[in-house]
Structure 1
């Protein structure tokens, strides 16, 4: 019986020692702080270490998490300045910096932060309209953070930031806003469509204007070149006709001279002249206009008079042609072959060829597309083709009166 009592006493002592050891040693992990009281009063704060306590004298009042915490509060109804109720969700980022203040200054700092956030949010949003509330999140976040950080400083807390997670207006307001946004988008679409049509019409009109300007410019250049070509063609044709007439006249003069020389050298008799006269009479009757041909009755007398005028009677009484005195000198046409030698030159005039080449170069030159930007494109650029053609004429004067005179050279 005595042994049994001794075992019980030993077990009690061992249990007491275990309790004493358990109450005298505590392990506080990193990022946590333990607030220790001695005989019910604050003693010290330890963090991240093994701490020895006086048994039955010291005790751990509370352990506080020193990490930054994120607390999301449920939606809170808030009335805006224009008397609309919106539901706002908030998220608060805070950290305990003074564990003993968080333990002794407030009983539950999370509830305190929640209530303080709600009241501050209602004060801030109550001074804004719905539109300002929806578009001023950064401003609301900044005001909430400033008020919360100042109010929770004595609780040993540091508010890092406050975010509005969502702002939900009433369903009727959401429907009205959607209609307003839809109408606004349709309005902008209509404006943009009208603006596009206006720009398109302007561009089309501008293109038509440039096209008409270029067409008119091309027609004017073509007319100038055509007129210049016609003028040159007439000048060259007149020169050719002049040379041809001169050659015809010169040829007829030479032919008449040769014929009369042959007649003089042959000494024809009146019979030959009569024979030639008879051969010529049928030719006189040819032609559609000749309806009747009359042979004169005194044909023989005419031949006699013709023979007497051209000849002299011989020993046999026959009239024969007597040539004029051979010593008599007859004036011949003046030889002007040296003066008209260049009339028969068939080579192209270099000055004319150069003028045609310049005109073709002007015609093939690309037209500047910036005519619309100039004050008066037609007035400023129209004379260029004519200037190029006229400046290339032989004398360089460019006048229509001087060019033919130079070509008649």
Structure 2
């Protein structure tokens, strides 16, 4: 027969061993703590702060030491919801803030403040209202750096005893009321229109100045060109006159040749369509008389001399009659000159009439 007492004793021993093994495992588990990097652990011994655990493997006294929740030692970024703030000119604006802070002392962050995130939020709100309350809307919109600096200084001083360090405070958005936004947009639009009108006027002014300067330079250059052309033209005419004058004096023309040229020029005077009245000068009869006297003897040797009609002296004959008389005289002079040249021994060397 099986001994019941021995069997019960064996079962008891097995259960005891199992309990002891479980106890040992629990003790080992509660004694060993592994702290990850960038975290810190606060250890309390019998309810009192004992030490701060650093990252890595740490040993605790089981059932005596207690590890509080780990504290994140990295820099944290917290964005707070929009807060209504009243400016100096009694306008309500909504401001979003972003705070960058870091826990530098895990013990102070655990025991000096119950909830440091909520404390930082409330402190940021009150400080923001104090700072922005002393500024008008335009200053608040254009002085973000100044506001950020004041907030950071106040928060850093207040949170130093909590084991926190505030590195930066940024205003994410400043939203004025919709009516103010519409007014600001109209003002900005008017300012842009004013600047555009000023720029357009300045451009038009510069354009007109440049155009006037260009016209002035063109007129100056044109006047210089006309001056040079007039000078060159006058020099050319002077040289031509001088050449003609020298040629006339070198050729030594006599009165007969001059009278002949005078008769050749008279018909050209009447070619102008504006000639309504032509006065026959008294020199015409003298020229005809000189030619007749010069070549009369030579023409009688070759044949009968054509009778040259002597125009009657009138005070104002018609232009047609004058032209006809001049043409008749010119023809008579041409015939007399031809006959004279034919009878002259060196007729080929006679000086040709000037055109």
TM-score between both structures, scaled by the size of structure 2: 0.70
- Partner of 2:70, secondary structure, is strand
Q: Cα distance 1:279–1:142, how it changes in 2: closer, same or farther (>3 A)? A: closer
What is the CA deviation profile of residues 105-126 of structure 1, one whole-angstrom value per residue up to 9, with x for unaligned ones?
1011111111111111111111
Q: Cα distance 1:278–1:101, how it changes in 2: closer, same or farther (>3 A)? A: closer
Alignment pair present for 1:181 and 2:188:
yes
Alignment of 1:119-158 (within 5 A): 119-158=126-165
Alignment pair present for 1:280 and 2:300:
yes
Moved more, 82-91 or 193-202: 193-202
Query: Post-superposition shift, 1:240?
Result: 1.2
- Partner of 1:152, secondary structure, is helix
Aligned match of 1:40: 47
CA distance in 2 between counterparts of 1:287 and 1:143 reads 129
Aligned match of 1:231: 238
Aligned match of 1:190: 197
Runs of 5+ consecutive residues of structure 2 not aligned to the other structure: 1-7, 256-296, 312-355
Give the paired residue count: 263
- Partner of 2:68, secondary structure, is strand
Alignment of 1:1-400 (within 5 A): 1-245=8-252, 280=300, 285-289=305-309
TM-score between both structures, scaled by the size of structure 1: 0.61
CA distance in 1 between counterparts of 2:141 and 2:164 reads 29
Query: Post-superposition shift, 1:70?
Result: 0.8
Aligned match of 1:337: none
CA distance in 1 between counterparts of 2:300 and 2:29 reads 171
Query: Post-superposition shift, 1:12?
Result: 2.3
Query: Post-superposition shift, 1:25?
Result: 1.0
- Partner of 2:22, secondary structure, is helix
Q: Cα distance 1:279–1:129, how it changes in 2: closer, same or farther (>3 A)? A: closer
Q: Cα distance 1:239–1:67, how it changes in 2: closer, same or farther (>3 A)? A: same
CA distance in 2 between counterparts of 1:119 and 1:220 reads 86
Query: Post-superposition shift, 1:4?
Result: 3.4
- Partner of 1:185, secondary structure, is helix
CA contact (8 A) 1:62 1:103 kept: no
CA distance in 2 between counterparts of 1:101 and 1:279 reads 152
Query: Post-superposition shift, 1:281?
Result: 6.1
Query: Post-superposition shift, 1:7?
Result: 3.1
CA contact (8 A) 2:299 2:305 kept: no
Aligned match of 1:390: none
CA distance in 2 between counterparts of 1:30 and 1:285 reads 147
Q: Cα distance 1:244–1:283, how it changes in 2: closer, same or farther (>3 A)? A: farther
Query: Post-superposition shift, 1:2?
Result: 3.4
CA distance in 1 between counterparts of 2:80 and 2:207 reads 55
What is the CA deviation profile of residues 16-59 of structure 1, one whole-angstrom value per residue up to 9, with x for unaligned ones?
22221111111111111111122222111122111111112211
Runs of 5+ consecutive residues of structure 1 not aligned to the other structure: 250-276, 292-409
Query: Post-superposition shift, 1:177?
Result: 0.9
